[in-house]
Amino acid sequence: MRFLLNSILLCLLTTSLFAVDKKVGVWQILEDCRLVQSDINDGDSFLVQHGNESSVFRIYYVDTPEISEKYMDRVRDQARYFSIPTDDVITTGELAANFSKLFLRDNFTVYTKWEDARGDGKKRYYALVKSKDRYLSMELVSNGLARIYGMPTKQAWPTGYSPRTYLSRLKNAERQAQRDRTGIWAVGGSSKQMAGLESLRENAENASQAGAPKLDTIDRSRASSKTGMLNVNTASQAELETLPGIGPAYAKAIIQARPIETIDSLVNIPGISANKLAAFRSLIIVAEPPPPPNTVEFYLADLPSYLNKDVTLSIASVSDSKVASPESFRSVTLYTAFEGEAGGNITAFIPDEFYDSFIQYYRESGRELKGLLYDREGETVLVYRRQ
């Protein structure tokens, strides 16, 4: 009997050692997760194994069609959104569920703040799910298998995205899926979301004939700069050729004229007139803007000036960190942003006695933190010092 009791106690102790500390409102990164086969799994909710535990997660931002008629109010609402028969909702819901199952066939990463997703029966938590640098929510929308609906994140993510930025990208992905008649949009041509799409296409074509860039040309050309515009000093010839009126010869001439100090100086290239420049002026830059102030990227851009000095960071969010910390400190990852523009992340060491209050205080994004920028074994870190 004593042996049995000891075994039970050992089992309980081992389980507690591996238990996840579910702090509501604090980002936690769960790596090497696996999908668990379950009847509750569908396109946007699924049972996930993480470490020695399992939890049901519901992805932020999107809603996939239902896979049964159990919740007919939702089925009818989804049918109205996509303007498809209710029977087609169930069919596309099964397609979305199979898509998510395939997306999650390998190990994946879950980002969660353990916010209650109001599940029926087993408790669910909102989460972001990423596999091979792709987010499931974006892939579902891009493939026409989900609507933009439901809970967005309230803080910047551990990966640096701001909620507003990601929502904008989701909307662009949905519009592209509509244009391409992808997934549900292949049969949802009369939906409210499709209204005005044809007129938008016509406006884009008319603008193109008048010298303005096409919508898809803008999207491609923006890939070379974090600003969403094309940097003419670093762009490849192929990228330059996406600009309206710029063919191979003009692209080569621009490359030969580098460095280009001002946009207006492009008219000095033979054949590029002021009118031709006007057609793509709004799509280009000649230099990347400086990093946003009070962010990690800002200080790293001039590290010799700030190393071993106190700096002020504008905190977007905080998450757990696996980096080993010095004695009497705990490590976290700080994600910084200034006025909604992400500015990188850094490992920070927080004294044990301040840790709980620190996490509580920096749940709210936009608060400032002062600490020492320090080189620790070749890695730049931030130390929150005892006063």
Tell me how far apart the alpha carbons of residues 236 and 238 are, in angstroms, rounded to a whole number: 5
Residues 67-119 have pLDDT tens digits of: 888 888 888 888 888 888 888 888 888 989 999 999 999 999 999 999 998 75
Mean pLDDT within 186-193 = 55
Q: Does residue 302 have a pLDDT over 50? A: yes
Q: Residue 9: inside a domain, yes or no?
A: no
Res. 39: pLDDT tops 50: yes
Residues 176 and 37 in one domain: yes
DSSP-assigned states of every residue in 14-58 = HHHHH-----TTSBEEEEEEEEE--TT--SSEEEEEETTEEEEEE
Q: What is the pLDDT confidence band of residue 120, given thresholds at 50, 70 and 90?
A: low
- CATH code of 321's domain: 2.40.50
Closest CA relative to residue 343, chosen from 364, 375, 313:
313
Q: What is the mean pLDDT of residues 48-57?
A: 94
- Listed residues 285, 310, 327: the one ending a domain: 285
Residue of higher predicted confidence among 338 and 209: 338
373 backbone dihedrals φ, ψ, rounded to 5°: -80, 125
Q: Is residue 238, in this structure, part of any structural domain at all?
A: yes
CA dist 208 and 63 (Å) reads: 35
For 80, the 3-state DSSP assignment is helix
pLDDT of residue 119: 59
Tokens of 25: 């409102």
Angle at which helices 72-82 and 86-103 pack, to 10 degrees?
90
30, 177: one domain? yes
* Residue 169 and residue 73 in one domain: yes
* 42: in domain: yes
Q: Supply the pLDDT for residue 206.
A: 44
Same domain, 154 and 71: yes
pLDDT of residue 385: 81
By the 8 A CB rule, do 371 and 341 touch? no
Say yes or no: 274 and 359 in one domain.
no
Q: What is the DSSP letter of 235?
A: -
Same domain, residue pair 217 and 307: no
Residue 192 lies in a domain: no
Same domain, 338 and 357: yes
pLDDT, tens only, 194-213: 433 343 344 334 433 433 33
8 A C-beta contact, residue 243 and residue 228: no
Q: Of 12 and 115, which is predicted with more confidence? A: 115
Question: If you average pLDDT over every residue of the chain, what do you get?
Answer: 81
Range of the domain at 244: 207-225+227-285
Give residue-wise pLDDT tens across range 55-76. 999 999 999 999 888 888 888 8
Residue 226's pLDDT band, with cuts at 50, 70 and 90, is low
Percent of the chain with pLDDT over 90: 34
Domain annotation covers residue 131: yes
Per-residue pLDDT band for 157 (boundaries 50, 70, 90) equals confident
Q: Which pLDDT belongs to residue 68?
A: 86
Shared domain check, 58 and 175? yes
Q: Which CATH number do you get for residue 91?
A: 2.40.50.90
Side chain identity, residue 342: A
**Which structure tokens are listed for 99?**
């898509």
The whole-number pLDDT of residue 19 equals 57
Please write the tens of the pLDDT for every residue from 350-387.
998 888 888 888 878 889 999 999 998 889 999 998 76
Same domain, 242 and 275: yes
Answer yes or no: is 17 within a domain.
Answer: no
Asked whether residue 317 is assigned to any structural domain, the reply reads: yes
Q: How many domains does the chain have?
A: 3
Task: Read off the pLDDT of residues 126-138 as tens digits, 9 standing for 90 and up.
Answer: 999 999 889 999 9
Output the pTM of the full model.
Answer: 0.52
Same domain, 244 and 359: no
Residues 27 and 176 occupy one common structural domain: yes
Judged against a pLDDT cut of 90, whether residue 176 lies above it is answered with: no
Examine residue 195 and state whether it is found in any structural domain, yes or no.
Answer: no
CA nearest to 164, candidates 337, 364, 363, 291: 337
Do residue 281 and residue 306 come from a single domain?
Answer: no
* Long-range contact set of residues 51-54: C-beta below 8 Å, sequence gap at least 24: 51/18, 51/20, 52/15, 52/18, 52/19, 53/18, 53/19, 53/20
Reference 130, options 59, 65, 51; nearest CA is 59
CATH of the domain at 269: 1.10.150.320
Instruction: Identify the pLDDT of residue 198.
Output: 41
Query: Are 146 and 121 spatial neighbours (Cβ–Cβ below 8 Å)?
Result: no
**Average pLDDT of the segment spanning 285-311:** 89
